[in-house]
């Protein structure tokens, strides 16, 4: 089973700053089947990125994904107030494991 490790656990930033979130896989993720989700308290997750770098419908272009193989990154170019949330990566090439999440909090 592929294990995903996200870092950091918590990211403390101010609105307008750049956020860089990491997701590392224990083995190569096939065909870049890597997705990123945003989750706010009491809400279902929201798909942001699929295929490692493709934005889902309606997702602002300040969100971008990159990477391949075992190392993936989600970048939020300029944090808006509504971006403070928990972010999860998920690989869906071999079953569908999630990372443990990164919380982006207001500094």
Partner 1 sequence: QVQLVQSGAEVKKPGASVKVSCKASGDTFTTYGISWVRQAPGQGLEWMGWISAYNGNTNYAQKLQGRVTMTTDTSTSTAYMELRSLRSDDTAVYYCTLGATVWGQGTLVTVSS
User: Which 3 state secondary structure label does DSSP give 22?
Assistant: strand
Compare residues 19 and 35 and give the one whose CB is closer to partner 1.
35
Count of C-beta atoms within a 10 Å radius of residue 107: 11
Residue closer to partner 1, measured from CB, 18 or 40 = 40
Binding stretches for partner 1 (CB under 8 A): 1, 35, 37, 39, 44-47, 50, 56-57, 88, 90, 92, 95-101
Cα–Cα distance measured from residue 85 to residue 21, given in angstroms and rounded to the nearest whole number: 12
In the bound state with partner 1, the residue whose beta carbon lies nearer, of 16 and 61, is: 61
Least distance (Å) from partner 1 to the CB of residue 31?
15
Provide the edge-to-edge strand list for the sheet that holds 19-25: 4-7, 19-25, 71-76, 63-68
């Amino acid at each position: 089973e592929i294990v995903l490790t996200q870092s950091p656990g918590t990211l403390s930033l101010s609105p307008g700053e750049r956020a860089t979130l990491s997701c590392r896989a224990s083995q190569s993720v096939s065909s870049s089947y890597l997705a990123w989700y945003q989750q706010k308290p009491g809400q279902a997750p929201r798909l942001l990125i699929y295929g490692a770098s493709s934005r889902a419908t309606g997702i602002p272009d300040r969100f971008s994904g990159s990477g391949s193989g075992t190392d993936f990154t989600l970048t939020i170019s300029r944090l808006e107030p509504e971006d403070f949330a928990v972010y999860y990566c998920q690989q869906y090439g071999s079953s569908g494991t999630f990372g443990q999440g990164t919380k982006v909090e207001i500094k």
